[in-house]
Amino acid sequence: MPETRRPLIAGNWKMNGLADESLLQIKDLAARASKISAPACDVLICPPATLLRDLAKAAVGSPVTVGGQDCHANGKGAHTGDISVAMLKDSGAHYCIVGHSERRADHGETNEDVKSKAEAVLREGLIAIVCVGETLAEREAGTTLSVISDQVKNSLPLGATAVNTVIAYEPVWAIGTGKTPTVLDVQTVHAHIRSDLTGLMNDANRVRILYGGSVKGSNAAELMAVENVDGALVGGASLTAEDFWPIVNVCI
Ligand code: PGA
């Protein structure tokens, strides 16, 4: 991995976590990371919004930062139940995930929606983690690369740079299933994304492209060693420090 791409190991807690247990977990993670004298990667936890402020405070002074899992494209207003990037930032978030496949599937989010959300993230000075990934049906139909190209091209925020935008490739069929693509498949898709980005932005070679989908301690080293894989977006295995640390430890 070129020195200019500092890996990012990000945990996405999804709709999991109550205050007491979550604080114990982030403190445990922060303590482990703090023992590393010069961390070689960024470490992020994206908890439910209800926990952001407490977790951000608990991680202060450690290499661990926190981020949001989703946001509204608007800055404020009559959007019951939604959360703005300014609110996430106010609670201590440095990043925000947009376009996770669960948002695309459960809430019908289109590439256009994802792009608007990512632009809202950039407007507040946070880093957008833009998720892309094919479904099993798309993979079986042989359309993986064209689906990914379409998502990258149409979800990428205007003004995207390697500093403010991260791409996460997450095959939908690999999320939470224990299944992962072969190393060759991951390499092919990541190289394809890199080449797509090259046509869309000036510093494409410095953009971090994460792999996500059933990453765990036992497969992290193999996946992180793949060319153009610059970190991981981890769901289930990020919920406890004990499970997440072996993944972080591959890069830190
Ligand atoms: P998983 O989820 O690690 O539980 O497969 C990954 C994700 O959805 O980000």
- Copy the structure tokens of residue 69: 């899992």
Cα(70)–Cα(47) distance, integer angstroms: 11
Nearest CA to ligand 1 atom 2: 235
Residue 38 CB neighbours (<10 A): 6
Q: Is residue 238 in contact with ligand 1, taking CB distance under 6 Å?
A: no
- Copy the structure tokens of residue 223: 């996946």
Angle, nearest 10°, between helix axes 111-123 and 144-155?
40
Query: What pLDDT shows up at residue 126?
Result: 98
Closest atom, ligand 1, to C-alpha of 237: 3
**What is the helix (H) or strand (E) element at residue 43, kind and residue range?**
strand 42-46
Q: Is residue 69 in contact with ligand 1, taking CB distance under 6 Å?
A: no
pTM metric for this prediction: 0.98
Query: What pLDDT shows up at residue 203?
Result: 96
SS3 144: helix
Report the DSSP pairing between strands 42-46 and 64-68: parallel
Per-residue pLDDT tens for 84-125?
999 999 999 999 999 999 999 999 999 999 999 999 999 999
Query: What pLDDT shows up at residue 101?
Result: 98
* Cβ contact 215:247 at 8 Å: yes
What backbone torsions phi and psi does residue 248 show, to the nearest 5 degrees? -60, -40
Cα 230 from chain centroid (whole Å): 11
Q: Is residue 175 in contact with ligand 1, taking CB distance under 6 Å?
A: yes
Q: What DSSP designation does 205 have?
A: G
Ligand 1 center to 196 CA (angstroms): 24
Cα(115)–Cα(106) distance, integer angstroms: 17
Cβ-based neighbours of 112, under 8 Å, separated by 6 or more: 154
Ligand 1 center to 77 CA (angstroms): 31
CA-CA-CA-CA dihedral for 78, 81, 87, 89, to nearest 10: -130
What backbone torsions phi and psi does residue 209 show, to the nearest 5 degrees? -115, 110
Which residue ranges of the chain lie beneath pLDDT 70?
1-3
Q: Is residue 178 in contact with ligand 1, taking CB distance under 6 Å?
A: no
Query: What pLDDT shows up at residue 92?
Result: 98
